[in-house]
Amino acid sequence: MMILKVSDLAVNYGAIKAVKGVSFEINEGEIVSLIGANGAGKTTILKTISGLLKPVEGTISYFGKDLKHKKASHIVAEGISHVPEGRHIFPGMSVKENLQLGAFLQKDRTQVKELFTEVYSQFPILRQREDQDAATLSGGEQQMLAIGRALMSKPKLLLLDEPSMGLAPIFINKIFEIIKAIKNRGTTVLLIEQNAKKALSIADRGYVLATGEIKMEGTGAQLLASPAVQKAYLGG
């Protein structure tokens, strides 16, 4: 089943056309990756899907519902969670308090407890650090916290923006294993990632963006094998 369909999406930053007529789709249970150079429009697309930016043209359909005019909080309630570039955890608050903020729409205390159990099983280090100030975590632990916080809203679609940025290699590998595990638990993932090789290696399908437009699409394996993608993004 198609979970998200983006059609002819155009987004401007003032006079700058950041996204120009982009169309793509995501099926339930997939990892779909958007790759491209800085400034290609990847983050803009994620922000528009999650309601932080408004398009000038095009449609965003989620399970057949139009998201174009919905507020960001309503989009979260519909089942879309966004893990932004840079993590944006809340300093001065504990790990547990950060996670609780992710569950702000959940009214059932029993369900919140179940969500904590699920997140702690996925990220055991967060259970060990639950009373610690989130700002004192390592970069990799903060990324796990940002993903865990998003999972506390029980999303059907998880938007991940540059989850490996600034992390040590050991944490990069761990983060990609976590993304695969999230998919295996039934959450669909839209992934933006500068590490194109890693992103395409776990993606069911991918799209290549350049200057706000989609230039190529295919399975993760097809794009990994593409000479054009290798030359532009994989150092080949």
CB 176 within 8 A of CB 202: yes
Q: What is the pLDDT of residues 86-142, one digit of tens each?
A: 878 899 999 999 999 999 887 788 888 999 999 999 899 999 999 999 999 998 899
Strands 205-210 and 31-35: parallel
Buried residues in 181-200 as b, exposed as e (16+ CB within 10 A)? ebbeeebbbbbbbbbbebbb
For residue 32, what pLDDT band results from cuts at 50, 70 and 90?
A: very high
Run of H or E residues at 210: strand 205-210
pLDDT mean over 19-36:
96
Q: Are the C-beta atoms of 186 and 154 separated by less than 8 Å?
A: no
pLDDT at 233 over 90: no
pLDDT of residue 107: 78
Beta-carbon count within 10 A of 49 CB: 23
Q: Which residues contact 66 (CB under 8 A, 6 or more apart)?
A: 59, 60
How much is the CA Rg of the chain, to the nearest whole Å?
A: 17
Entry pTM:
0.92
Cβ 175 vs Cβ 21: under 8 Å: no
Share of the chain above pLDDT 70, in %: 99
Question: Which domain CATH number covers 219?
Answer: 3.40.50.300
**What is the predicted pLDDT for the residue at 15?**
85
Output the pLDDT for position 236. 52
The overall longest dimension of the chain from CA atoms, in Å, is 52
Q: Is the pLDDT of residue 150 over 70?
A: yes
The sign of the torsion formed by the CA atoms of 18, 149, 103, 160 equals positive
The pLDDT value given to residue 130: 95
Q: Which domain holds residue 46?
A: 2-233
pLDDT averaged over the chain? 92
Q: What is the DSSP string of 137-176?
A: S-HHHHHHHHHHHHHTT--SEEEEE-TTTT--HHHHHHHH
Specify whether the CB–CB gap between 25 and 206 falls below 8 A. Answer: no
pLDDT tens string 41-88: 999 999 999 999 999 999 999 999 999 889 998 999 999 999 998 878
Contact (Cβ atoms closer than 8 angstroms) between residue 190 and residue 30: no
Angle subtended at Cα 153 by Cα 145 and Cα 49, rounded to the nearest 5 degrees: 95
Number of domains, the chain: 1
For residues 104 and 206, give the distance between their C-alpha atoms in angstroms, rounded to a whole number.
32
Interhelix angle 95-102/109-122, rounded to 10 degrees, is 120
Arithmetic mean of pLDDT, 185-192: 96
